[in-house]
Structure 1
């Protein structure tokens, strides 16, 4: 689990990049990482104080008597309401945090791992220094202090490691936890609470014969994304819930590093969503199924009223297609599903073991064990939000591009890898502005040029880009051009740090219609989002405010293997 790292060299590079960033953006007043946020800020008076630590421990996962080595967050409440921290015994998941809008929060994070780390508050709108940017990663034995006010409305977020080049492995081995925010508007709705407000954290893992976690077995797992063969819910396999004949609120989080889920009932009953990534919806939405990409959340209203005691209902991830490269999916179909045997494709582990992306498999079983006479009613109206439109943006005719590309075994954003000390002109935005952003897969190189026309794209690497079935010029790394088209056509969950955004439109463009039909009815795009799944050939337009805080805010693929390969960039808010 620990990684062989030259800490002196890594620290030198980190500090050098930090210094370069400070030189480029002096108004950010970036503190030296050796002293950044090591002690509380005078004058900041927190309502909540929590002492966090991360360390390696052994916990039971597989219910076979064995214990599995994991990395785990621990938390101790120093100040604040009693229910702020809800810890789990014998579980690798971090404690659930319960915050209220308007609270001022101070968190002390002690890194007791054997490698560098930092915590990111995924979905929260916080200052740069408290966002968990990898430039603030701390070494073993060091402490980092977060301070922020909870500005979010009621909704479901989560927190996880965001260590540079180690995000995927640290999240996979356990460094993540649920974070809930409430507000006065939510409290008036009478939604299910307490034992009727439950987490549904879904992850896939791979275990060896000794019950230990395995992760990333070659370049294939990095390029395609790691897929395990064991589905865990709330940290346990073969999940079962004993429920009463009434309505529940289940907060579903896709905590996997790359697996996409298509949630649906086995009997075809529709699902009702009441919230998305960071906020309640204006009105409940009923869907035949719900697509849940890595980093995505959806609050589900699951109503078991009228179902007899003893009845069972199974939630599945239903079959879908089109999220993986065509050649990869063809091979999967040829072998009847799954990823195939290890060692195909020239010994690169291109078809390593595990459940294939888009296969059908069970998530959890719900047993109705008790009949009750009362149940909350699903509100017709949840919350009221002023929806942003193109009239609110200052670049309606010239949206900022986020071009998703993969070339030379490197997933890229806007043709560039991650760099702390580089910001292109298209990545510089004024604080207080509201921007229209276009996220797309360039179908051809000339399309990349047309989509980004009007922007200064100096430094962008245009070479070898193609679309679904198009070439990518990978002969240098692969010894031939066969891999080019295969690597390009993947779905990517794009996550933007900082303030939440709204999805303006989805344009099908160059999508495969048959594949797209298997997923299109499961997107819940009407609420506030911080992560959006973009299908191959699809173009998604969003509206994102850049308000309140200056600084460097990441945008990246939340396929964490891709993120660790450099599919990540910064917006510079100034």
Structure 2
């Protein structure tokens, strides 16, 4: 006969077993639900009802000494992304995004940056070659109510650059709220090529971001398993939801900028039409490359030229990501998401465009043949080379006037990219082979799938400043905020690095 104690114990164990099964079933069901609802698609369902907003060219004045002066006010406001819904946003000289700054290679520029926010921020000139004290990284914080006035001489070829905040630990939040804008550099060599170049007509800025609206507010929450950072469920171009653009020319140049904080886009057209890639992050290629898609991770840019036929419509979209991620990482990094982004509407009669030239400009980046050293940078969620960012620590010291090779490797299972301040680099090899066409131009940001190594050639032309560092970091901005960032200084031959100050931001 079984004793009462044993019967009670058996019932307790049976009940506990049932509870465990129920809990596991609930967890499994929850995971299955999260998995099944993780992908997003707006393909085929987007009604393009809003004219594309073209950011205005920033007003400027020219001083007697030839210095071009801009003013940028960092400010808060409200923006109606949808009729009747005003969301709180941030912008430069307005409520969202900022004007397009434009200057010539060789021109002296000065920018008055006035912070009207209730918290400190910065303005980083992404892709610009300039002194470290003018770079706008986390060592150049602008306090509320303060003005920062960087000044430098533009010293690089024609290119599509951009500007955005860079406060240590808060970059994702500041960019997601709307602080971004383009900075275009012009030069005589590019002007002579007769590429589409009428701003806002056949030469269009295309600033692509994702967002999530919750009624009258921007939702910045990170959803389950999204280790890449914030991913939205809708896309904006130049701050416009579901935009269209009227086209009046046979050829149109799109200056694509991925200004999202974590999302990776695979840009293509709905009819898979070919286009000419003519420029990357830091300027024009040596010759156009014919592609039907181009992948851009956060911070990367591409200049493409697409041919239109009279009366037709075509949609720029983002296709699924093919980046070597496993099925779990791809799903929760947004790799299965697809978006219709921008509709181009050709007029019934189009202005004739000059044919694209077969050659563009000579290479402006080093080929690595005179490199004085090769360094290794391992990227992982835990940091770079095993260390998280420290504001008062110099991680790398480079000598002015020298070329180096940096081997950058993704050593964990999630997507990363790598951005270097101040310089444009050449990709020598990628994943053990020759770089694909989209990586053959000058670059300052590069995507790295898990296990992939890219070897980069960089030349450090200075000026030297042993006390003020530049940054290198993952440009998936939540990763940057959590410490995937390091610092380097440029010194004169034989000079030692100084000690950059740490601060509370």
TM-score (structure 2 length as normaliser): 0.80
1:278 deviates by 1.6
Give the conservation status (yes or no) of the 8 Å contact 1:494–1:556: yes
1:96 has 2:89 as partner = no
**Is 2:349 aligned against 1:371?**
yes
* Larger helix share, 1 or 2: 1
Q: Map 1:83-482 to 2 at 5 A.
A: 92-194=96-198, 195-208=201-214, 210-217=215-222, 220-221=225-226, 223-304=227-308, 307-309=309-311, 311-322=312-323, 326-329=327-330, 332=331, 356-385=334-363, 388-395=366-373, 399-406=374-381, 411-424=382-395, 427-442=396-411
| Distance change (3 Å), C-alpha of 1:57 and 1:394 | same
SS of the residue aligned with 2:315?
A: strand
Please give the alpha-carbon distance, in whole angstroms, between the structure 1 residues aligned to 2:87 and 2:320: 30
The alignment partner of 1:281 has SS state of strand
Paired residues, what number?
424
Distance 2:84 2:436 in 1: 39
* Alignment gaps of 5+ in structure 2: 1-62, 492-505
Number of the residue aligned with 2:76: 56
Deviations 1:415-438 (A, max 9, x none): 1011121124xx111111110000
**Of residues 467, 473, 482 in structure 2, which corresponds to 1:556?**
473
For 2:337, what is the secondary structure of its paired residue? Answer: coil
| Cα deviation digits, residues 197-243 of structure 1 (max 9, x gap) | 111111000110x231011346855x322110011111111121111
Q: Report the alpha carbon displacement of residue 299 of structure 1 after superposing the two structures with TM.
A: 0.6
Shift of residue 44 of structure 1?
Answer: 11
Q: What displacement does 1:324 show?
A: 5.0
Q: 1:127: how far off?
A: 0.2
Partner residue, 1:71 = 90
Structure 1 residues 217 and 537: CA distance shift in structure 2, 3 A: closer
Q: Which protein is bigger by CA-based radius of gyration?
A: 2
Match of 1:504 among 399, 403, 428: 428
Match of residue 452 from structure 1: none
Q: Distance in 1 between matches of 2:249 and 2:136?
A: 42
Contact 1:288 1:522 in 2 (8 A): no
> Would you tell me which structure has more strand in proportion to its own residues?
2
The answer as to 2:444 corresponding to 1:530 is yes
CA contact (8 A) 1:261 1:358 kept: no
Conservation of the 8 A alpha-carbon contact between 1:495 and 1:530:
yes
Could you tell me the TM-score, scaled by structure 1's length?
0.71
| Counterparts of 1:54 and 1:273, CA distance in 2 | 33
Instruction: Supply the distance in 1 between the matched residues of 2:368 and 2:435 (Cα, whole angstroms).
Output: 24
Distance 1:159 1:49 in 2: 16
Contact 2:429 2:435 survives alignment (8 Å): no
Are 2:410 and 2:416, in contact at CA under 8 Å, matched by a contact in 1? no
Residue 387 of structure 1: how far off its partner (Å) = 5.3
Distance 1:301 1:324 in 2: 30
1:542 and 2:466 equivalent? no
Q: Is the 8 A contact 1:263 1:316 kept in 2?
A: yes
For residues 564 and 372 of structure 1, the distance between their equivalents in structure 2, rounded to whole angstroms, comes to 47
Find the counterpart in structure 1 of residue 4 from structure 2: none
Query: Which whole-Å deviations, capped at 9, do the CAs of 1:99-125 have from their partners, x for residues lacking one?
Result: 111111111111110111110000110
Structure 1 residues 325, 226: closer, same or farther in 2, change over 3 A? farther
* 2:47 aligned residue: none
Q: For residues 168-214 of structure 1, what are the alpha-carbon distances to aligned partners after superposition, in whole Å with 9 as ceiling and x for unaligned?
A: 11111011101111011111111112221111111000110x23101
Corresponding residue for residue 77 of structure 1: none
Where 1:169 maps in the other structure, the secondary structure is helix
CA distance in 1, matches of 2:439, 2:346: 31
Conserved? CA contact 2:90–2:179, under 8 Å:
yes
Q: 1:322 to 1:379 in 2, by over 3 A?
A: closer
Q: What whole-Å deviation, never above 9, does each CA across 1:440-464 have from its counterpart, x for those lacking one? A: 023xxxxxxxxxxxxxxxxxxxxxx
1:329-376 deviations in Å (ceiling 9; x for gaps): 4xx4xxxxxx5xxxxxxxxxxxxxxx9334222111111123125212
Question: What's the CA shift string for 1:479-511, capped at 9, x where partnerless?
Answer: xxxxxxxxx3122121000121111101259xx
Contact 1:58 1:69 in 2 (8 A): yes
CA RMSD of aligned residues (A): 2.2
The 3 A distance-change label for structure 1 pair 387 and 105 is: closer
Deviation at 1:282, TM superposition (A): 1.0
1:219/1:553 CA distance change after superposition, 3 Å: farther
Q: Which residue of 2 aligns with 1:32?
A: none
Describe the shift of the 1:371–1:96 C-alpha distance in structure 2 as closer, same or farther (beyond 3 A): same
Contact 1:72 1:92 in 2 (8 A): yes
Deviates more, 1:119-128 or 1:413-422: 413-422
Native 8 Å contact 1:403 1:441 kept in 2: yes
Q: Residue by residue, what CA displacement relative to the aligned partner does 1:367-415 show, whole Å, maximum 9, x if unpaired? A: 11231252121111111225532322112xxx21110012xxxx41111
